[in-house]
Chain A
Amino acid sequence: MQRIVVDAMGGDHAPEEIVKGAAEASLALPDAELILVGDAEVIGATLPRLRHDGARVRVHHAAQVVEMDEKPGEALAAKPDASILIAAGLVAAGEGDALVSAGNTGASVLACARTWKLIPGVRRAALASVYPTELRRGEKNDPFSLILDVGATIDASAEDLVTFAIMGAAYASLVSRNRRPRVALLSNGTEAGKGPAAVVEAHQLLLEATQLNFIGNVEGLDIPRGVADVIVCNGFVGNVVLKMLEGVSETVVRLARYAHKEKLTWRIGLMALSSALAQLKAVTDWQQYGGAPLLGLEHPFIKAHGRSTAPAITNAIKVAAKASAGDLCGHIGRGLAELSARREGSAP
């Protein structure tokens, strides 16, 4: 049985939507236990209003909450009984197998980093995010590519980038059921020598020391095209890229709204495209993919979007259950151990 710990108080729509998502997951996942951490009175008043399986839901009281706009370090220090800290602690104590939170990203990452150990061979954890692309991949026909790191740390060495590549490939092969994901480094040119020193060095290491399906460097424009399934970069670049892609998407939507209001002919054109646009929206709906995994720690953590409503939480829980059931962290650990063994074997 997969035991998924859920921070019931984290997120713009917590606890109502989080509890709803968990309630739905209790019916959808036949072999999972949902451990809701938060205000037991509030959760206890919400659950009976929802269809769920009472045998699969457990509530663990936490008296404090880290708000979305609080400074992570300060908030965690001031609130030892915060739901995210208690939730991470339960996983560390072996009471749960994976964690899901839609709360304050910094506080969630910090709570996990402080409470859990890194997988041997990992120096820095990486936050991964998925992005919808033109191409489909894996047995699930997944339209999403994985980008990491998108902000867990600012800088990354060549060694870190190689680790991120191994972690991202393990996640893609397990969650997207993509047996041999195409891994690429994000750079300012496709040539091996392009980019900062860490990227150039990582390129060499990935070619020589790993058995990943490394396809070389990709540029920013290759991300939405879906050229690679796993795109590796440092947290600073990843965060900038991700925010820019989100900004472009929002601008396109705003332009479409403007066009809809501006001219009758444009409105007719948009109406003609409405079913295709609806399909596109369904394919690229971020609520469907669950959340961003934090990779590199000894337990899976899925960071759901702060604006998550119940369906996104249910999906995040499903991803967490899949990561736990498939032993994602074990896969990463074995991948890193193989890398280490290969490099030791090839050392002079």
Chain B
Amino acid sequence: MTAPRHVFRWDLDKTYLRTEFDSLGDLIKSAIETAADKQAYPGATALLRTLSTTDGYKVCIVSGSPTQMRTVLAAKLALDGVTYDEFVLKDNLRNILRGRFRALRAQIPYKLPALLASRGGSAPAPAETLFGDDAEADAIVYCLYADLLAGRVDHETLARILSSARAYDDETARTLALARAAPTGDVVRRIVIHLDRRSPPLGFRQFGPRLVPVFNYFQAALVLFADGVLDARQLLFVAFEMLDSGQYHLATLANSLQDLMRRNRLGSETVLRLADEVGAMTTGGLLSARPDLPPFATIARAFTERVRELRGAAPPAWPTDPEPLDYVSLVDHEHDHRRARRRRGHG
């Protein structure tokens, strides 16, 4: 079993697929939609395809959608030309048959063991990047997973966290066993949270600079470019899919870049390097002649222009010695927040 260089773990609903499940009607609609009806976010398909076709990269999908939707979801991914190495769904029918209704909505007791099982079930990669969204507890689950692997959360604390997350006893026991067995290491390089609800990005600052909230997949691609995971051509592949969608323009892509700079998620030197690389590009390969898309020189100019417009304004600094995350409080807060949303009729 050859170990991949980098593993990318993706959520599906609201991360890759534009899914509504705030009401019963939304849930029914989502369940009866065909693969062709399902819509991916602009740029997400290009990004996932780029990652899945790069040598040494492995794509694992871990979704809270029920296993009964495997056929239609797999068909959607096939339609989009996305290949993957693992595809894990939630066995909610089993939860219903066992009368475990709390588990139907539970995020952490489902997703954390799924992530640990995936890591423990194959040759461990030295680097991982995780993709989730702001609709559920992805930020908490992914940070917890990262801190567990890095040894920053001990198993006693993990048991308390799972208790706060209303996990059943056997789920707690299984998760603890998986945590003990999973190959450890400070391997989670980046957590990307798609702001489907347009949540204020500052709300995620507590999770530290490793977690980057993004408004769109051009921002995700920019972060991966800065991390050395994507090159400039792969990044433009994502950008062009977004332009093709008609929902983005060169200006909105450049604004997305500036937004990351203002939030201290992307340095001006990285943007200028990207602009240099884009400006020096010629058409060919993935970016073969597309006269309908902006010329490389125009793209490069738009990017450097956004840097210039900030005139060196300093973004907020990150604390040099951040406090460790208090997962029990985070889980309690998330639980209260979800209950409040349900009371207001938002899922």
Where the two chains meet, the residues of A that have a C-beta atom closer than 8 Å to any C-beta of B are 1, 3, 27, 33, 39-41, 43-45, 47-61, 63
Contacts and interface: CB of A to CB of B under 8 A. Distances in A.
A325 to B, nearest CB: 15
Interface stretch (B15-23, B118-126, B284-292, B313-321): B313-321
Contact of B215 (A43, A44, A53, A61): A53
A95 to B, nearest CB: 9
Contacts of B251: 1, 3, 33, 58
Given A33-B252, A44-B262, A61 B219 contact: no
Given A33-B251, A61-B310, A48 B256 contact: no
Interface residues of B, number: 32
A148 to B, nearest CB: 33
A48 B255 contact: no
Given A48-B205, A57-B259, A59-B310, 12 more contacts: A1-B252, A40-B262, A40-B310, A41-B313, A44-B263, A44-B315, A47-B262, A48-B262, A53-B215, A54-B216, A55-B218, A59-B258
Interface string B293-310: 000000000000010011
A59 B262 contact: yes
A27 B205 CA distance: 22
B198 interface: yes
A58 B202 CA distance: 18
B311 interface: yes
A60 B251 CA distance: 13
A60 B305 CA distance: 10
Contacts, number: 80
B37 to A, nearest CB: 21
B155 interface: no
Contacts of A55: 215-216, 218, 248, 252-253, 255-256, 259
Interface in B191-227: 197-202, 205, 215-216, 218-219
B233 interface: no
7 contacts: A44-B313, A49-B200, A51-B197, A55-B218, A55-B252, A58-B251, A60-B309
Contacts of B180: none
Contacts of B201: 48, 54
A58 B259 CA distance: 8
B90 to A, nearest CB: 29
Contacts of B263: 44, 48
Contacts of A63: 311
A18 B316 CA distance: 20
A33 B255 contact: yes
Nearest to B214: A54
Contact of A48 (B202, B254, B309, B311): B202
Question: Top 10 nearest A-B pairs by Cβ distance?
Answer: A40-B313, A54-B259, A44-B262, A48-B202, A54-B215, A55-B252, A61-B311, A48-B201, A41-B313, A55-B256
A48 B316 CA distance: 11
B198 A51 contact: yes
Contacts of A61: 309-311, 313
- Give the one of B202, B216, B255, B315 with max A CB within 10 A: B255
Nearest to A42: B313
A48 B259 CA distance: 9
A45 B316 CA distance: 7
B133 to A, nearest CB: 15
A186 to B, nearest CB: 43
A157 to B, nearest CB: 42
A45 B315 CA distance: 8
A201 to B, nearest CB: 47
A49 B259 CA distance: 13
Contacts of A27: 198
